[in-house]
Structure 1
Amino acid sequence: MRMAGERIIERLRNQIFENIVKQDIEFFDRNRTGEIISRLAADTVVVGKSVTQNISDGLRNGIMAVVGTGMMLYVNTSLTLTMMSIIPPIAVAAIYYGRILRDISAKTQTATSHTTQVAQEKLDLIRTVRAFAQENRESHSYATETHKVYQLSMKESYAGATFFSGAGFAGNFVAMAILYYGGSLVAAGSITPGDLTSFFLYSTYVGFSFMGLSGFYGELMKGIGASSRLFALMESKGEVEGQSSQTGIKLEKVTGRIEFKDVEFAYPTRSDAKIFKGLSFTIEPGTNVAIVGKSGSGKSTVAQLLLRFYDPSKGSIFIDGIDIRSLDGNHMRNNIMSFVPQEPSLFATTIRENIAYGRSNATDQEIESACERANALGFIKKFPQGFDTYTGEKGVAMSGGQKQRIAIARALLKDPKILIMDEATSALDASSENLVQDSMSQIVMGRTVITIAHRLSTIQQADFIVVVEDGRVVETGGYDELVEREDGKFRHLIDAQLSS
């Protein structure tokens, strides 16, 4: 049973995690990582124990109760009926106890996940906590959450103590009744003292079995309470990812033409705040396009929609004339696009494995070539362990500029037809940025590049500029053309940057 339980827990965790990573990005916007991890770790153990060890105990106690009851009936029917008079009230009490335990179990698992959330968030941001000397505050915050778990555990203890003490009292009362009634039968000569002794031993045997069944029912209710959260995860299906993986088209030859047509969009968690209100622009194949605008204008959202992290509420986005809703999203991101995020995150592994993340079969020569184009080869070779240097959790062992260059190399290694760079050089110093910019002619060669940028040096490299404001495109054109428009939106952005 122990082996079966561990197999069930393993399969549950694997199935749930597989379903989680295939959810829409909206799912992760609405659910905190700590809660998801708690469901994977704690809830699966409760459910696994409930359906293995607990069922084993229940079957054993059930068989013991049936056999013991048969022996009691064989000894004396009237004494057995007296013994069984305890079952209806205990059964009713057990039903109510099970319902209470199920509700408390669900609340306890939720409270436990909240403690995991708090701990993970504070430890992830430990440098911020330390910088602002808020250790005591965060310790108190965690203690508050653990106290909620303690209070729920106490409620469970009180419920269990009330039920089992009541059942024990009823059992003792029935035992006294059996002794009294059995003694009168012995005095009347209906049964022998040996029969009464045997019956009393059988009744004790059955009594312990019924108490075990009560515990089995309670543990089963706890498992049901925990399983409701797990089944919610298993049954949840992403609309965006689910549709694209089942019926999506896999484009094999792509030129890289992109068109946003009358796109309207608001993030699901902020549906009342529209980001785009009819966004339309076209990017021709093989061009380097800069998306510019004020902070909060939706520049990064362009990348998220193109990667199909979300679907627009209205309008369409086309790649080579095909609506991306009809494409296989996984194939599109794996074979057509690469993305360098504004705040690149690295996995807790080596530099080599981080760079080869999107293309695990890449050769050392290909990895070095990508690093050279991203101006990352120099600092990597200076490390004693070179490409085998450990980056730390989320890349904490690397500087901001080093992480960005590793992220650029990771994107270039895939040799994508469409490259999306979201403020990809924002953490680089002027010297490193100049080196990356110098290699941009090689980076953009043969592919469409979308650069979301603030820096003047990055914008000047672009073949075409799209200016976004108030959810719409307000200007398009080349750098020289837009700068010459004295009352233009782009000119105002540049003047503001130069004056600062």
Structure 2
Amino acid sequence: MIFHRLTLLSSFINRSSNFLIHSHQCRSFKLTPNRQFSLTSIRPRRGDRPQLLANNATNTPKVKLTFSDLGKLFRLAQNEKGRIGCAIILLFISSSVTMSVPYILGKIIDMLQTYKHEELRRRLKQTTLLLIGVFGIGAIANFGRIYLILTTSQRIIKRVREQLFNGILRKEMAFFDKQKTGELVNRLSSDTEVMSNAVTQNISDGLRALTQSVAGVGLMLYISPQLALVGLTTVPPVAVGAILFGRFIKRLSRKVQDALAKATDVAEERFSNIRTVKSFSKEEQEIQLYNQRISNVLQLKYKESLAYGLFYGMTGLSGNIIVLSVFYFGGVSMSEESLTIGDLSSFLLYAFYVGVSISGIFSFHLELMKGIGASQTVWSILNDDHNEKIILSSQSQHTIHGEPLTPALMLRDITFDSISFRYPTRPNVLVLDNLILRVPGGKVLAICGSSGSGKSTIGQLLLRFYEPQSGQIRIGNIPIKDMPLHWLRSNIGTVPQEPVLFSSSIYDNIAYGYPTVIENVPETVLKNKVMEAANTANASGFIEQLPEKYNTKVGERGTMLSGGQKQRVALSRAILRDPSILVLDEATSALDAQSEYLVQEALEKIMVNRTVIIIAHRLSTIIKADQIAVLDKGRIGEQGTYTELMNIENGLFRNLVATQTMVDVDLEE
């Protein structure tokens, strides 16, 4: 009789445990149950596996669980305390319902053994109605908990992404020189999600696992203290194994992230420069390189999978040994009539609940460690010392050194006084060496020189993309470092050699140059200004010939337009800004003769009543400048008018003109 009962009990427990384990896995992997799992098939939840982030491991701080890091991470959820508190209350309700199921099932089994016929039907009916009510409450609580946690997580992700995006945009150019675009994008997308999940969904799952573990152990002790001691014998060694496993997985996941970062860098760089790849017919070479990087990731994932398999295989074996022990000692207790079959059924189900919940606690630990690791990289970006000192609006400061902040202030002479400069990424290369240069206010100054002489650097220093190591830049008598950065840049227009357009419409790209927030400008006013700027830049002609005119999409980086068209759109953008200072960085050097003529004609129209700095080497571009400065080895070698410089025997400028003339003759031949 006892053997028959144990056989029935074994079948019932096996089915119940398989359903329990499978349901737990389906919640983790978001699957629909379709087949049973064995007792040894418990696999890690999605949160247990290190998420593959395209991080550069060498730049990622070593993860250490500290109270400071935990505090920073949990402060992300500070504004969501009400929602999280409600979710926790609902969690306790749903967990209470879950933990009542084994006890009720045990009583039903005892009921089947004790009562017959009418009495049995009556009690089953009462119990069924009770369970329907209990399960209904549990379902409502689960719905509320999941909804609150998921929406709270998305709210936190949005807030962190806004903060991180804002922080990144406020960085100095030196920061971007050292960072990879793909890595920053990954921080903005993946890392923020990991951080949010660590303090929302992970906390919810961790509390649920902890609650069910404590409740399950308590009920196991209530049913049978002796069996509870037997069932809990594997917890200490499994806990030690989990800690060691977590440390190993952290180290291995860093290697995986590093390998994946290299693969991601290859893909991103090749996609961004696809024309170069195709023009050199390097598709096969790039495919092999990417495959090699991915193969490195795969080899590391093999090791990771082996580690997971060994750990969860051993924990599964430990669990099954405990089940056999409980069956044995439980059967002995039943034979002595000190334990009913219902109590043993409840005990075994609670044991399974505790086992799954302990696994959830380990998952919580791993997910929390990943959240801390992701947060450390995000904090390192937000808290570094590369932030620009930006005043967002000129309204926050009306005067400087006692003078009003007006466009007229920017039309004074620009003085580069003993400027020495090295780029942060090339600290051993002196680009500008005690440079002394005066740009007459309201005039046109052309800067020429050999490649690498520092011409473009002058424009970048004027925009304060970088700070010189020594010396001072002044407009009038006011150092530009004392000016509000936003106001300074809003009064300087730039047109680079290779203008960058956003992958939107021509209209949006031109309107981007408007000095105030576009949303605050009436649509008709902005539209008229955009069309006027395009007309001034000789861009309206080709725009009107396009099928969608100003609504034409330019493609990524403006690839749908020709070089001359892109340059005129960029010039329109600069004109719309109506700057007091205009910096033209070899704006016509990459254009054909017809495009150069159109752009040059537009430039002559907008140079009036502005201070213009032309960085160029073409004679046609600089011949009409009021002043010409020749850069030589980071210093001004010569400065004067075109006629004055051409009259200097063996002068730097005269030699440059002679060299270009010879090149032009060779090209014509």
| TM-score normalised by L of structure 1 | 0.92
The 2-side partners of 1:431 and 1:229 are apart by 50
Deviates more, 1:308-317 or 1:201-210: 201-210
2:467 is the alignment partner of 1:311: yes
**What letter is aligned with 2:629?**
V
Determine helix, strand or coil for the equivalent of 1:375.
coil
CA contact (8 A) 2:564 2:596 kept: no
| Structure 1 residues 158 and 218: CA distance shift in structure 2, 3 A | farther
| Structure 1 residues 162 and 227: CA distance shift in structure 2, 3 A | farther
Partner residue, 2:589: 426
Determine helix, strand or coil for the equivalent of 2:425.
helix
Partner residue, 1:337: 492
Q: Which has the larger radius of gyration?
A: 2
Aligned partner of 1:470 among 629, 633, 652 = 633
Aligned partner of 1:242 among 389, 395, 413 = 389
- Residue 190 of structure 1 and its aligned partner are, at CA, apart by 5.6
- Residue 228 of structure 1 and its aligned partner are, at CA, apart by 3.1
Counterpart mapping for 1:287-366 below 5 A: 287-334=443-490, 336-359=491-514, 360=518, 361=521, 363-366=526-529
- Residue 386 of structure 1 and its aligned partner are, at CA, apart by 2.0
Deviates more, 1:56-65 or 1:128-137: 56-65
Of all paired residues, the percent bearing the same amino acid is 44
2:536 is the alignment partner of 1:373: yes
| TM-score normalised by L of structure 2 | 0.70
Partner residue, 1:20: 168
The 2-side partners of 1:191 and 1:436 are apart by 95
- Residue 180 of structure 1 and its aligned partner are, at CA, apart by 4.0
* CA-to-aligned-CA distance 1:400-456 (integer Å, 9 cap, x gap): 111111111111111100000001112333344334434544312211000001010
2:449 is the alignment partner of 1:262: no
The 2-side partners of 1:337 and 1:147 are apart by 49
| Structure 1 residues 108 and 95: CA distance shift in structure 2, 3 A | same
Determine helix, strand or coil for the equivalent of 1:269.
coil
The 2-side partners of 1:206 and 1:436 are apart by 75
- Residue 57 of structure 1 and its aligned partner are, at CA, apart by 2.2
Aligned partner of 1:141 among 289, 300, 309 = 289
Determine helix, strand or coil for the equivalent of 1:270.
coil
The 2-side partners of 1:53 and 1:268 are apart by 41
Aligned partner of 1:82 among 230, 243, 250 = 230
| Structure 1 residues 441 and 226: CA distance shift in structure 2, 3 A | closer
**What letter is aligned with 2:406?**
E
Partner residue, 2:201: 53
Deviates more, 1:44-53 or 1:450-459: 44-53
The 2-side partners of 1:405 and 1:256 are apart by 28
**What letter is aligned with 2:202?**
N
Deviates more, 1:298-307 or 1:224-233: 224-233
- Residue 245 of structure 1 and its aligned partner are, at CA, apart by 6.2
The 2-side partners of 1:192 and 1:438 are apart by 99
Deviates more, 1:49-58 or 1:13-22: 49-58
Partner residue, 2:560: 397
| Structure 1 residues 483 and 56: CA distance shift in structure 2, 3 A | same
Determine helix, strand or coil for the equivalent of 1:358.
coil
- Residue 337 of structure 1 and its aligned partner are, at CA, apart by 0.5
CA contact (8 A) 2:567 2:599 kept: no
Equivalenced residues, count = 498
- Residue 220 of structure 1 and its aligned partner are, at CA, apart by 2.9
Partner residue, 2:272: 124
- Residue 197 of structure 1 and its aligned partner are, at CA, apart by 4.5
Counterpart mapping for 1:147-296 below 5 A: 147-183=295-331, 191=339, 195-239=343-387, 241-242=388-389, 251-253=405-407, 254=409, 255-296=411-452
The 1-side partners of 2:458 and 2:487 are apart by 19
* CA-to-aligned-CA distance 1:211-235 (integer Å, 9 cap, x gap): 2322332333333333333333333
The 2-side partners of 1:140 and 1:43 are apart by 29
CA contact (8 A) 1:69 1:80 kept: yes
**What letter is aligned with 2:633?**
D
Aligned CA-pair RMSD: 2.4
- Residue 194 of structure 1 and its aligned partner are, at CA, apart by 5.3
